[in-house]
């Protein structure tokens, strides 16, 4: 991860602030506030602001004054109840804002979650950094034969080298063309005093999708958990999962009781349909049931069996 001198100084200045507040704070999150957590080769996330903590959720659920209850165990019981029964609005009372540096192709996937306030680095106004994401060899995989959205076996040897060289060379060449069209180098120097540069809003169109961009992304805790439930899942694309995993750790520091409930009921738990519930009830009683009798499709049946580690009953 590479930070500019200006960014490093900004982080240092922010961390050296000494502010007094009457608002609730999260002690462990305060320790990493503003810190740039490295992701991938040049990316990062930073928590730059937040509002509320676990007690804010409890307070909202009870619509009362004060910080909630005197016993943490009581707060934990209520938060688990809210999570277990999908009472979502109290979790909307907490908000968090991240500064994220990420490849453009991941940003376009990320923005599909239309539940946040986003302000992205403007390539109409400024020149994009000369930084590109290049996958490590262990994350360079072929297209999956069974999943149109997923990866298959890892590429090996000369094929892997060829792909990496193509990605690197294409990114460097298009960025060089970007500078030529702008008539301006990444360091701000003019290339040719006798030329007029192309408008930045036009020159950017030629850049590759592995070029890095940055944004501020602010959301409430409920929508953050919805994002993380999908993007921290092992089925998610590796690159966005790397960001989600780091964000999950910030949630643990911010709202530890909610984090524990979230990991238990949303990440570690599973949903069962009414038909699936009947299948499980019969299996627990030792009764036999066929897929035809269950009314489940083959995919539904197998997903249910895998979720409850009944792999001997896979079809």
How far apart CA 14 and CA 32 sit, in angstroms, is 11
pLDDT at 70 over 60: no
> Of 66-70, 82-86, 228-232, which gets the smallest average pLDDT?
66-70
First to last CA, the chain: 46
**Greater pLDDT, 106 or 11:** 106
Confidence category of residue 148, pLDDT binned at 50, 70, 90? low
For the record, the structure tokens of 162 come out as 């060829």
C-alpha closest to that of 94 among 227, 221, 244: 221
What is the bridge-based pairing of β-strands 212-220 and 117-120? antiparallel
Catalytic residue among 112, 231, 266, 299: 231
Instruction: Report residue 30: phi and psi, to 5°.
Output: -60, -35
Instruction: Determine the pLDDT at residue 11.
Output: 86
Q: pLDDT grade, residue 151 (50/70/90)?
A: low
Q: What is the pLDDT of residues 178-232, one digit of tens each?
A: 999 999 998 889 999 999 999 999 999 999 999 999 999 999 999 999 999 999 9
Q: What is the mean pLDDT of the chain?
A: 91
Q: How big is the CA angle at 139 (ends 138 and 140), to the nearest 5 degrees?
A: 95
pLDDT (tens digit per residue) in 234-268: 889 999 999 999 999 999 999 999 999 999 999 99
Q: Cα(24)–Cα(1) distance, rounded to whole angstroms?
A: 32
Taking a C-beta distance cutoff of 8 angstroms, is the pair 1, 36 a contact?
Answer: yes
231 is an active site residue? yes
Report the alpha-carbon distance of residue 275 to residue 47 in Å, rounded: 43
State whether residue 99 is helix, strand or coil: strand
**DSSP 8-state assignment for residue 198:** P
Q: Partners of 220 in the beta sheet?
A: 95
Report field, pTM of the whole predicted structure over 0.85: yes
Residue with the larger pLDDT of the pair 20 and 69: 20
- Residue 122 makes CB contacts below 8 A (sequence gap 6+) with none
* Cα–Cα distance for residue pair 257/28, rounded to 1 Å: 13
**Cα–Cα distance, 155 to 115 (Å, whole number):** 36
Look at 151 and 85; give whichever has higher pLDDT. Answer: 85
Q: Give dist(CA 261, CA 77) in Å, integer.
A: 9
Cβ contact 243:47 at 8 Å: no
User: 3-state DSSP call for residue 142?
Assistant: strand
Here the tokens at position 203 are 């020159």
């Amino acid at each position: 991860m590479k930070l500019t001198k200006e960014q490093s100084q900004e982080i240092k200045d922010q961390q050296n602030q000494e502010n007094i507040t009457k608002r609730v704070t999260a002690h462990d999150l305060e320790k990493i506030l503003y810190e740039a957590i490295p992701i991938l080769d040049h990316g990062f996330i930073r928590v730059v602001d937040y509002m509320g903590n676990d007690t804010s959720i409890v307070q909202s659920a009870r619509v009362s004054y004060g910080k909630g209850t005197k016993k943490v165990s009581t707060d934990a019981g209520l938060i688990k109840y809210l999570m277990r029964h999908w009472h979502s609005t109290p979790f909307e009372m907490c908000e968090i804002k991240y500064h994220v540096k990420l490849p453009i192709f991941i940003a376009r996937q990320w923005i599909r979650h239309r539940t946040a306030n986003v302000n992205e680095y403007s390539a109409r106004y400024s020149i994009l950094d000369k930084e590109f994401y290049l996958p490590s060899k262990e994350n360079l995989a072929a297209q999956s034969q069974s999943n149109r959205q997923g990866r298959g076996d890892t590429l090996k040897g000369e094929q892997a080298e060829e792909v990496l060289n193509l990605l690197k060379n294409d990114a460097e060449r298009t960025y060089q063309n970007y500078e030529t069209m702008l008539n301006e180098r990444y360091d701000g120097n003019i290339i040719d005093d006798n030329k007029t540069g192309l408008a930045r809003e036009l020159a950017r169109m030629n850049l590759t999708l592995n070029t890095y961009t940055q944004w501020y992304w602010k959301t409430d805790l409920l929508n953050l958990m919805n994002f993380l439930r999908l993007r921290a899942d092992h089925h998610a694309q590796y690159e966005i999962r790397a960001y989600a995993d780091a964000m999950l750790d910030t949630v643990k520091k911010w709202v530890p009781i909610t984090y524990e409930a979230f990991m238990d009921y949303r990440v570690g738990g599973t949903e069962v349909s009414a038909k699936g519930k009947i299948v499980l009830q019969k299996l627990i009683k030792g009764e036999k049931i066929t897929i035809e009798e269950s009314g489940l499709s083959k995919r539904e049946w197998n997903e249910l069996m895998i979720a409850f580690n009944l792999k001997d009953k896979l079809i």
